[in-house]
Amino acid sequence: MDVVRAALSIRDAMLPLTFRAMTSTIDIHQLPQPDAVIFDLDGTLVDTVEQRIEAWRRTFEEVGITSRREELVPLIGLDGKRLAREVHALAGQPIDDARAEVIDKRCGEIYEELNRDPRPLPGVRRLFETIDSRGLESAIATSSRKEQVKTSVDALGLAHEPTIVDASHVEHAKPEPDLLLRAAEELGVDPSRAWYIGDSTWDMVASVAAAMIPIGVLAGAAGTREALEGAGAAVVVETLDEIADALTL
């Protein structure tokens, strides 16, 4: 899709040459240890990507646009308003920001109806326990609307309420780096000393733009290892347990 190619062009322009060399396939244990670990939410910590895809499919169906799963998969993780504009543009029905806001909000309503019993992905609690035991900072930085976040975060069963930065905190969500930079600011850490964990190409693009170390995780992803690596992932792991192992000293 044109939007994916454009995002990768942005990534390459923002990526320092030294970091480009590091983003060839390496072992996670070779990464510098972080001061903070920042996470995406859907598809990274909770198994909700299919609900997201179905919510968007139903939303577009309501406005008379047929969207197939394979067309939506590469867009999941993108800022919802931008996703709405992209799909409408591809259908030859461009919309303005106000209409995109309405459509994104409607998708959120449908998603909440579908997301009744979200399931944490393997290794979530162990990874947060490891982060706490190391005294590292952590946060969740998600393009989701604020009202969509609580159900999924509650399902994680964490020992304490995490720091959350959602789409309401910034003007531009992913693939722009604003969410991630805001999270680093709230945690009081240098972005270059943070790992960003995500399941989508947009997570990787945003992480590179924020000068964080991008780590892709496949357990809840709709995309592939190759797509994550192509979008700038320094490392791609199967589950969050591998990240916990890398943080265990």
Average pLDDT, the chain: 89
209 Cβ partners below 8 Å, 6+ apart?
Answer: 10, 11, 14, 175, 176, 177
Identity of residue 41:
L
Torsion angle in degrees (nearest 10) through CA of 233, 187, 243, 116: -90
pTM of the predicted structure, to 2 decimals: 0.87
Q: Is the pLDDT at 15 greater than 70, yes or no?
A: no
Residues 35-50: pLDDT tens digits?
999 999 999 999 999 9
Residue 116 half-sphere exposure toward CB, CA atoms < 13 A: 2
Token pair, residue 93, equals 């029905």
Nearest residue to 140 (alpha-carbon basis) of 52, 219, 35, 41: 41
Neighbouring-strand partners of residue 39: 140, 197
Query: What per-residue confidence (pLDDT) applies to 223?
Result: 86
Residues 138-161: pLDDT tens digits?
999 998 888 788 999 999 999 999
Q: Is the pLDDT at 4 greater than 60, yes or no?
A: no
Q: Is the pLDDT at 8 greater than 80, yes or no?
A: no
Position 25 confidence tier, pLDDT thresholds 50, 70, 90: low
Q: For residues 6-27, give the mean pLDDT.
A: 48
Cα distances (angstroms) measured from residue 137 to each of 25, 35, 52, 61, 177? 26, 6, 28, 41, 19
Q: For residues 20-40, give the mean pLDDT.
A: 81
Residues 207-220: pLDDT tens digits?
999 999 999 999 99
Domains identified in the chain and CATH numbers: 2-48+118-247 (3.40.50.1000), 49-114 (1.10.150.240)
Q: Is the pLDDT at 75 greater than 90, yes or no?
A: yes
Query: What per-residue confidence (pLDDT) applies to 135?
Result: 96
The answer to whether residues 82 and 100 touch, using CB atoms and an 8 Å cutoff, is yes
Q: Is the pLDDT at 178 greater than 60, yes or no?
A: yes
Q: For residues 230-248, give the mean pLDDT.
A: 96
Q: For residues 219-227, give the mean pLDDT.
A: 93
Position 65 confidence tier, pLDDT thresholds 50, 70, 90: very high
Query: What per-residue confidence (pLDDT) applies to 173?
Result: 87
Query: What per-residue confidence (pLDDT) applies to 20?
Result: 42
Q: Is the pLDDT at 175 greater than 60, yes or no?
A: yes
